[in-house]
Amino acid sequence: MAKAKKWGLALARDIAAHKAGRLPWHKVDHGCVLHGPPGTGKTTFARILAETCGVPLIETSYPAWQRHRDGHLGSVHAAMHQLFGDAANRAPSIVFIDEIDGIPARDSGERHNRGWWDQIVNALIEGIDDIRKNEKRVIVIGACNHADRIDSALMRSGRLDRLIRVDLPTVDDLVGIIRYHLKTSLQGEDLRMVAAGAVGMTGADIEKLVRDAERHARNDNDRPIGVGDLIAALDEEVAKIPPDCLHRVAVHEAGHAAVAILLGISDNVTTSLIRRGQSTASTYIDTRIQAITRTLVEKRIAVALGGRAAEDAILGDVTAGAGGAEDSDLAIASDLAIRSVVQWGLSCSGDILYSPYTAAEQLLLYRPDRVQEVQTMLNTAYGVALDLVRTHRAGVLAIADALVGKRALLHGDIVELLGVPPGHAASAP
């Protein structure tokens, strides 16, 4: 929550300055929208922000307004008016509107009860404008998963004009979240390996993980919790996988990690054999901000195909594990190639073109002549991944073996096991 934290601390300083008479209210931020995946702590952030600022927090949502009286439009408007009135009476204060993306934008194409939703948006804009123009000392924070669904008028300057993304926690973030939920337990213990296995989890997931681990310790003679209990809570599904299958999964993930490091894609790669929903394992690659060039895209395609390449080169055949879902390895690789050719202007032909259609629609319906170029791009990147895995076979196997034993590996562990410096093959493909 680095960006949200930075903004929140600045807001707390400004409110303190205002209370001390050093800063006029119109110089204080009017509000923001926090957006990101579910369970990442947006609501918790708002509560802690209000506590830090020393102001009351008024939590609300569209369903809360809908429940007011008979739920008719006039009653919903009355609930919204009452909300802003209450906030103004308790000012300075923070209004927190949860799931604000549940109010459809007026230009979203929503036809069912469109007039109703237009009036809801209008009333919300009116309420925000009123507290701003009349300096009622109220800050409005919205939270959502899909910021692109919010009406653009709500996001313009002077309203909810600051958009702050709350991403899934990094390894370092997860260490802190785990310690927070452990309270006084396991002080001084190294929790980075647990955090590496928890990559992809949200703060809410970590709270459940710690509860599960504590229950595991209680059920074992009511002893104090240990690091092994956290690993066991992460590992309970993976433990059911047959050893030969688990080794194949480890080889697959080792391929992703090795190719990413060899091509210098990231300086923060972690991998784990921890079940996430339908996925048996995951490799996290924290990519740096870089210009999207054809060379970079080719490298990222090779990384996406690195797992399949490792199965192919080391085990002699491949499974369907790289495909199937919309977020699968093959889907990611194909999407990168298609976008390069028909949307990003990175085609070998030199074509520069943009279309409102999706990349796949444009390719298959309007640019079938580019299908072969996409396939060539995928085949070439796959060849690069295969060559890297074959050249560094011993290192990839060492990563896979360590992954089976430890269940999770940090970036430094992977680099050491690979035995070559990061970016060793950065000139390829």
Domains of the chain by residue range:
2-165, 171-236, 240-418
Burial of 297 (0-12, 13-18, 19+ CB in 10 A): buried
Res. 109: pLDDT tops 70: no
What is the model's pTM? 0.67
CATH number of 2-165: 3.40.50.300
pLDDT digits (tens, 9 = 90+) for 340-374: 887 777 877 766 665 555 666 666 655 677 788 88
| Phi and psi based region of residue 316 (left: phi greater than 0; alpha: psi -120 to 50; beta: remaining) | left
Give the per-residue pLDDT at 179.
94
Residue 373 annotated as catalytic? no
Give the per-residue pLDDT at 177.
92
Res. 17: pLDDT tops 90: yes
Query: Which one of 3.40.190.80, 1.20.58.760, 2.60.120.10, 3.40.50.720 gives the CATH number of domain 240-418?
Result: 1.20.58.760
Cα 330 vs. chain centroid, distance in angstroms? 20
Give the per-residue pLDDT at 234.
82
| CATH topology match: 171-236 vs 240-418 | no
Q: Which residue has the higher pLDDT, 278 or 88?
A: 88
CA distance 337 to 297: 8
Beta strand extents in 292-342 (DSSP E only)? none
pLDDT digits (tens, 9 = 90+) for 252-309: 999 999 999 999 988 889 888 876 554 556 787 877 667 888 899 999 999 999 999 9
pLDDT digits (tens, 9 = 90+) for 20-33: 999 999 999 989 99
Token digits for 84? 């802003």
Give the per-residue pLDDT at 169.
87
Name the average pLDDT for the chain: 87
Query: 5 falls in which pLDDT band (50, 70, 90)?
Result: very high
Give the per-residue pLDDT at 282.
76
Which of 253, 298, 311, 373 is labelled catalytic? 253
CA distance 238 to 208: 17
CATH number of 171-236: 1.10.8.60
pLDDT digits (tens, 9 = 90+) for 47-86: 999 999 999 999 999 999 988 888 788 999 999 999 999 9
Query: 198 falls in which pLDDT band (50, 70, 90)?
Result: confident
Query: 405 falls in which pLDDT band (50, 70, 90)?
Result: confident
Contact 332, 359 (CB under 8 A): no
Res. 428: pLDDT tops 60: no
Give the per-residue pLDDT at 61.
94
